[in-house]
């Protein structure tokens, strides 16, 4: 079992997330993984959970206005950019500078909440089938536990079909 890290011992970005979660009454602490959680597989291995339980934050840039678009997806899914674009407008890739500027976090540590610029956010509907999720907490080694309902409540985001589904060849 991974032990919670005292708030004062967290890196600055993870401490900011921990304080925000505390302020919002979230019951679970931020924990630091001994190894990086930059990928869903790495985070799942460090937490001894299924890859699907990792609520990964993928950031895009909306072409029309450069708005950040955050998709919180199951770690087991690839995001279907066409499905996301159909809901929010044409998308472009977000480079590391854009991610840091718009979220305040580095790639690999983007949290679902507490962004520098409020993103347009969508939650992968596949996350709702899971009882427990883990999300990045502002740092590549920092995560926090939450339920799908808590994710919806914390972000205020709609749930959508955003997963790339492989179709059988006809």
The structural domains of the chain, with segments of one domain joined by +, span: 7-160
Q: What is the pLDDT of residue 2?
A: 75
Per-residue pLDDT at 1: 61
At 3 the pLDDT is: 79
Residue 161's pLDDT is: 97
pLDDT of 38 reads 74
Give 2's DSSP letter.
P
The partner residues of 92 in beta bridges, in order of sequence, read 61
Q: What is the pLDDT of residues 35-92, one digit of tens each?
A: 777 789 988 998 999 999 999 999 999 999 999 999 999 999 999 999 999 999 999 9
Is residue 21 classed as helix, strand or coil in its secondary structure?
helix
* pLDDT tier for residue 134 given thresholds of 50, 70 and 90: very high
Tokens 């914390």: give the residue: 154
Alpha helices in the chain (DSSP H): 12-23, 40-47, 81-88, 96-103, 148-155
The sign of the torsion formed by the CA atoms of 125, 128, 129, 132 equals positive
94-132 exposure pattern, b = at least 16 Cβ within 10 A, e = fewer: beeebbeebbbbbbbbbbbbbbeeebbbbbbbbbeebee
Q: What is the pTM of this model?
A: 0.94
Write the DSSP string, 67-99. Answer: -EEEEEEETT--B-HHHHHHHH--EEE--HHHH
- 7-160: CATH topology: YbaK protein (3.90.960)
């Amino acid at each position: 079992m991974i032990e919670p890290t005292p708030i004062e011992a967290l890196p600055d970005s993870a401490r900011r997330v921990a304080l925000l979660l505390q302020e919002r009454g979230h019951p679970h602490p931020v924990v630091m993984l001994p190894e990086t959680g930059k990928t869903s597989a790495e985070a799942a291995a460090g937490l001894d959970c299924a890859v699907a339980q990792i609520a990964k934050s993928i950031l895009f840039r909306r072409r029309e206005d450069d708005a950040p678009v955050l998709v919180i997806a199951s770690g087991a899914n690839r995001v279907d950019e066409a499905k996301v674009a159909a809901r929010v407008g044409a998308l472009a890739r977000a480079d590391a500078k854009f991610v840091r500027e718009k979220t305040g976090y580095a790639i690999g540590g983007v949290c679902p909440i507490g962004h520098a610029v409020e993103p347009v956010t969508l939650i992968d509907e596949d996350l709702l089938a899971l009882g427990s999720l883990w999300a990045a907490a502002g740092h590549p080694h920092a995560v926090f536990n939450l339920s799908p309902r808590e994710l919806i409540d914390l972000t205020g985001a709609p749930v959508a079909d955003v997963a790339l589904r492989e179709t059988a060849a006809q």
